[in-house]
Amino acid sequence: MVPAITADKLTKKFGDFTAVNQITFEVQKGEIFGFLGANGAGKTTAMRMLNGLSRPTSGQASVAGFDVYRETEKIKKHIGYMSQKFSLYEDLTVRENIQFYGGIYGLPGREIRHQIKELIGGLGMQEYANTLVKAIPLGWKQKLSFSIAIMHRPEIVFLDEPTGGVDPITRRQFWEMIYKAASEGMTIFVTTHYMDESEYCGRVSIMVDGRIAALDTPRALKEQFGASSMNDVFLQLTRPNQHGS
């Protein structure tokens, strides 16, 4: 089976600064893959290359079987993207947002009408259907953003810091949506600052200064570093001289 994502010595330089330095990894279909790193470690740059938004300086990568140099438009059609900051239009209603994105994804009108019903019903958001997105609670926005990001059934969905600030029950409902999508074969690629979040992933990679410094299941990483949590693993990797403090 072709992996959902492959990267082989993928590199991006800005002038003489190497933002992403020869990263190599594979993500399998249906996997929940956590992509971690401190601010400035190169996560965003790496993700932009995989999304077809930034041309690599060297190395190889493919996403959903498409090449990140030559087939960026195909990549964009086969992925979904959700960021906590930019996903929805605040001045459109819930219904209008679904309609708008349905149009962007090129879904036929009949399919969009079906999706509006399906999606609002599935989320139990009937009471908010005609409410402006800026007026709905954050937890609902996140669930809606995710549903919209996958309404065109992409093979891979990229989640950029998806779940900050919500209560613990809502956060878990969100993760259950992610598990459901993964169980149906969708590949999930998620970046987060919050290390407890990374423990929900099947495997995680941790970037430090443009490189992948560690990559394994959360359990194996904790064992390898003799750490009780992913937070400890992260701190050991990013503050190597201070661990145990």
Partner 1 sequence: MATTQAIQVESLSKRYGKNVQALNQVSFEVGRGELFGLIGPDGAGKTTLIRILATLLLANEGQALVNGWEVRRDYRKIRSHIGYMPGRFSLYQDLSVEENLHFFATIFGTTIEENYELIRDIYVQLEPFRKRKAGKLSGGMKQKLALCCALIHKPVVLLLDEPTTGVDPVSRQEFWEMLKRLKEKEITILVSTPYMDEASLCDRVALIQKGNILSIDKPAGIVSAFDKPLLAVRTNDMYRLIHDLREFESTHSAFPFGEYVHLALRNAIWPEAIHAYLAGKEHTDIEIKPAQATIEDAFMELMTQE
> Where does this chain bind partner 1 (CB under 8 A)?
38-40, 137-139, 164-170, 172, 175-176, 179-180, 182-183, 193-196, 199-200, 217-219, 231, 234-235, 238-239
Between CA 234 and CA 227 the distance in angstroms is 9
Instruction: Give the distance from CA 182 to its chain's centroid.
Output: 12
Between CA 99 and CA 92 the distance in angstroms is 10
Q: Least CB distance from residue 210 to partner 1, whole Å? A: 15
Q: Least CB distance from residue 184 to partner 1, whole Å? A: 9
Residue among 124 and 165 whose Cβ is closer to partner 1? 165
Q: Least CB distance from residue 99 to partner 1, whole Å? A: 27
Q: Least CB distance from residue 72 to partner 1, whole Å? A: 29
Residue 104 token pair: 């962007």
Distances (CA, A) of 218 to 28, 77, 231: 16, 31, 11
Q: Least CB distance from residue 124 to partner 1, whole Å? A: 17
Residue among 108 and 168 whose Cβ is closer to partner 1? 168
Q: Least CB distance from residue 227 to partner 1, whole Å? A: 12
Residue ranges of the alpha helices (H) in the chain? 43-50, 72-78, 94-104, 109-123, 138-149, 168-183, 195-198, 218-224, 230-238
Residue among 55 and 180 whose Cβ is closer to partner 1? 180
Residue among 156 and 166 whose Cβ is closer to partner 1? 166
Residue 149 token pair: 């990001």
Residue 231 token pair: 């937070």
Between CA 229 and CA 160 the distance in angstroms is 22
Residue 110 token pair: 């009949």
Residue among 38 and 92 whose Cβ is closer to partner 1? 38
Residue among 106 and 168 whose Cβ is closer to partner 1? 168
Closest CA to 205 of 7, 36, 9: 36
Q: Least CB distance from residue 183 to partner 1, whole Å? A: 4
Residue among 36 and 98 whose Cβ is closer to partner 1? 36
Q: Do residues 50 and 158 make contact, with C-beta atoms less than 8 angstroms apart? A: yes
Q: Do residues 36 and 204 make contact, with C-beta atoms less than 8 angstroms apart? A: yes
